[in-house]
Amino acid sequence: MEDPIQLKEEGNKYFQAKDYEKAIQSYTQAIKLNKDKALQAVLYRNRAACFLKKEEHAKAASDASRAIDINASDIKALYRRSQALEKLGKLDQAFKDAQKCATIEPRNKNFQETLRRLGANIQEKLHVQFSTDLRVQKMFEILLDENSEKEKREKAANNLVVLGREEAGAERIFQNNGVSLLLQLIETKNPELILAAVRTLSGMCTAHKARATAILHHLGIDSICAWMSVNNKEISLAVCNLLQSITDCLLGQGKEEQHGKAEAVVLDTKKDLRMITMRLLDMLVSKKVSGQGRDQALNLLNKNIPRKDLKDLDNSRTTFVIDNGLKKILKVVGQIPELPDCLPLTENTQLTASVLLNKLYDDLRCDPERDNYRLICEDYIKSKIDPQDMDKTLHAIQMVSGVLQGPFDLGNKLLGMKGVMEMMVALCGSEREIDQLVAVEALIHASTKLSRATFIISNGVTLLKEIYKKTKNEKIKIRALVGLCKLGSAGGTDYGLRQFAEGSMEKLARQCRKWLCNTSIDTRTRKWAVEGLAYLTLDADVKDDFVEDEPALQAMFELAKTSDKTILYSVASALVNCTNSYDTKEVVPELVQLAKFSKQHVPEEHPKDKKDFVVKRVKRLLKAGVVSALACMVNADSALLTDQSKELMARVFLALCEDPKDRGTVVAQGGGKALIPLAVEGTDVGKIKASHALAKIAAISNPDIAFPGERVYEVVRPLVSLLNTERDGLQNYEALLGLTNFSGRSDKLRTKIVKEKALPDIENYMFENHDQLRQAATECMCNLVVNKEVQERFVADGNDRLKLVVLLCGEDDEKVQVAAAGALAMLTAAQKKLCSKMTEVTTQWLEILQRLCLHDNVEVQHRGLVIAFNLISADTELAKKLVESELLEILTYIGKKEDDPKKQHIIDVARDCLTRCMDYGLIKPLSHA
């Protein structure tokens, strides 16, 4: 369609049908094709009305302004701009537009009312602003006065933080020289005041690009990084959050609110972002930076440098970091805490740096970029290998070890570099314990996959056994043991691919559990015991013994709750193994026979990996408190909580929710809350598993208890994501049960389900051949039809929704009939239009209604009679149609029955139907016959 006038008419039709998105498309197309100025003003004005309906107020104001530019006295455009500006908080500008409208049409009561309301709101705003200014002034006076009482200062500090989070408060602080005063608070060196000031600044920067940019330039990135470098976890984290708020604004992420005109001057943020990135990279290698500060710098780089979506082709931030900072990151992973020249580190620093290396490598788009990355690594490591200087070489091996924990394929290539493997072997044989320690760790990380571990298996086992027997140092002993565990488990869950002799794995596991329970050993060393168990628990005998050892389980859970987050993946791996929640290939008997015939290896299942053993292990883990440990792990705000770790946790949760009897325990220990972030972020598989676990809980639990408060609304989207043909039948079914449960709770929840676009999917499952899916979808729809928006969809022309529900009432499946009849009863009660529509959608409607009214199931019969009553009440003609049919005999037969407490509600409805027919004069009472 190329005619602007026709497009305008089409847009008007869409607008009346409340399809604002399509209306916008039609108006936009017309604007592009139109040459007539007067029509152009109308099109902009109409599109502004659509944006108002969609609550996109900045776009509405912009379009209305364009219409006013063409015709300054366009009253509709002026009024729409006034409405949009009011919503954007620009009351004075909105007032001016409303005033113009009232001047053009002085008798219009609507304009007069708007003027009164805006005038009152402006007065109130001025009053609030004035009182806020006084409050801000007072707070700073108290905070900057050293003689103020401690309690007063604390209260003022808290109030300031709260005020900074509100848009009006943040603006008042900013306008009243607040940034300089907050800087004075930071310079007091008082930790509490510093925290209050930084948190206030963080609130002021949130979702306001112009203010965030001004604050960044006022404070200076060097000062911000210096505050983040302090050895105080709380302050370091608060400054990290401030820098994240600023970065979100510069990147245009987060809930960016509209401030100023829609097409205001856009600040060039690339320069600021590069400056921040460079300072963060400098922090990584500075000795002045604390371990906490280094962690926060790495967390910021992890969060903001790699692309969030690989469909976005711009990976310039990643390539910039590789060119300018890859060597700095390698320097961090190459640190050896036991050596005197080591940078200040925490237990999480080096693994966080390895995660960053991995994310950067994964973010590269082509082989030349990956080759450049590899060459930088190779050159840097080569420069560190020096046979004359053992300490320098140690750093090189530690770097390889760090890369192996990040991009493993690249780490493998680095292992193949000339001199690397030889140096590792030489270090294993060294007399110095630190050499052995680094070499053993490198061997462990080098032997990750069976196909790639052949060299290590043939050479490493001997080396590790030698070290294990000779060394007196527990730290080295435990690492050597983990290396053996890892190599021993290289066959995975395949019972026929055991690397070591019968009983050796259990022996290694016993030693690991012994170390794990020994609290006199340092946390870093005990962590390696968990790492060992993460590999050994692939063996069913080991996992069975492990879950029986409650002290060992408790010790592992306690370690998972500590500040050392490097353990997350190992704990999650061990739990996945214990619950058998890893993916297993389906064994096809015919292929097994074929493999045996051709003398190929056939994977064998361990007898203790059968279902009844798995169920017992799950029960033991629940009893030991696995859910609270997992909940604590999910809350780790660290780059070390990788998407892979989240997926493992989601797998464990799904296994824990398998038995309906256990779901109450999972909820009671915080599992419901912990599953929500896992269902929203992570790998696709992880999100599906977590969503399925949520569906299992939602299907049978009271939502108010399982997901209290606003949390229940966050669960709707994961459940809707399972209504997908790519998901399996069980996932579809349990998601439908969960949504049925939710939709029966409140109209707010029903509205949320509709907003998440679940209706088309639920309708699709109502057509499903599978009885249980069709039943679950119909029950869900039965609950949803109470909602006004859902009813309107049934009333709308051009759809078969009502026909489907009527036909489902005639199904043989009793549960489907109950649900469909319930939905129809509620629809016909709420919308009179649907009563006449019901008689038009199918010729079988009367036969179906009669069958419902004579049904053996009391519930179905009651609903059928209610539908009949609704039809009779809706319209005399409809009532006449029903009276002329056999339905009158059915109603008379039921209505004449003697009172019966069990069926009284049915008899009463039948009598009400007859009474209504008498009122119409369609039938007469018996006595008058």
DSSP 403-458: HHTSSHHHHHHHHTSTTHHHHHHHHHT-S-HHHHHHHHHHHHHH--SGGG-HHHHH
350-375: per-residue pLDDT in tens? 999 999 999 999 999 999 999 999 99
Structure-model confidence comparison of residues 606 and 119, the more confident one? 119
Of 738, 705, 703, whose CA–CA distance to 722 is shortest? Answer: 738
pLDDT(442) > 80: yes
pLDDT(416) > 90: no
Q: 134: which 2 tokens?
A: 């006084």
* Look-up of token digits 């987050």: 565
The Cα 83–Cα 88 span in angstroms is 9
| Residue 497 confidence class, pLDDT cut points 50, 70, 90 | very low
Provide the mean pLDDT of the chain. Answer: 85
Secondary structure class of 843 (helix, strand, coil): coil
Structure-model confidence comparison of residues 541 and 285, the more confident one? 285
* pLDDT recorded at residue 737: 94
Of 51, 48, 88, 50, whose CA–CA distance to 68 is shortest? Answer: 48
Q: 717: which 2 tokens?
A: 């989207």
The Cα 34–Cα 859 span in angstroms is 60
Q: How many CB atoms lie within 10 A of CB 542?
A: 28
pLDDT(322) > 90: yes
Lowest mean pLDDT among 138-147, 597-606, 785-794, 831-840: 597-606
Of 768, 827, 829, 743, whose CA–CA distance to 793 is shortest? Answer: 827
Mean pLDDT of 46-63: 91
| Residue 628 confidence class, pLDDT cut points 50, 70, 90 | very high
Of 86, 126, 120, 118, whose CA–CA distance to 102 is shortest? Answer: 118
| Residue 491 confidence class, pLDDT cut points 50, 70, 90 | very low
For the four alpha carbons of 39, 45, 49 and 54, in that order, the dihedral sign comes to positive
123-136: per-residue pLDDT in tens? 777 666 555 666 77
Identity of the amino acid at 370: R
Mean pLDDT of 161-172: 84
104-120: per-residue pLDDT in tens? 888 888 888 888 888 88
Contact 390, 429 (CB under 8 A): no
DSSP 249-313: HHHT-S-----S-TTPPPP--HHHHHHHHHHHHHHHT-TTS-HHHHHHHHHHHHHHSS-S-TTS-
Percent of the chain with pLDDT over 90: 38
* Look-up of token digits 């237990």: 347
844-880: per-residue pLDDT in tens? 898 999 999 989 898 999 999 999 999 998 888 888 8
* pLDDT recorded at residue 358: 93
What own/partner pairs with CB < 8 Å and gap ≥ 24 does 16-19 have? Answer: 18/53
Say whether pTM exceeds 0.85. Answer: no
640-665: per-residue pLDDT in tens? 888 899 999 999 999 999 999 999 99
For the four alpha carbons of 871, 875, 879 and 882, in that order, the dihedral sign comes to negative
> How far apart, in Å, are the Cα atoms of 229 and each of 200, 220, 235, 284, 286?
19, 15, 9, 10, 10
* pLDDT recorded at residue 586: 59
The Cα 403–Cα 835 span in angstroms is 70
* pLDDT recorded at residue 812: 85
pLDDT(493) > 50: no
Q: 347: which 2 tokens?
A: 């237990």
Structure-model confidence comparison of residues 825 and 596, the more confident one? 825
Return the axis-axis angle of helices 540-548 and 568-578, rounded to nearest 10°: 100
* pLDDT recorded at residue 107: 85
Structure-model confidence comparison of residues 265 and 390, the more confident one? 390
| Residue 594 confidence class, pLDDT cut points 50, 70, 90 | low
The Cα 625–Cα 667 span in angstroms is 12
Q: 776: which 2 tokens?
A: 């679950």
Structure-model confidence comparison of residues 584 and 309, the more confident one? 309
* pLDDT recorded at residue 422: 78
pLDDT(498) > 50: no
CA angle (919, 923, 928) in 5-degree steps? 100
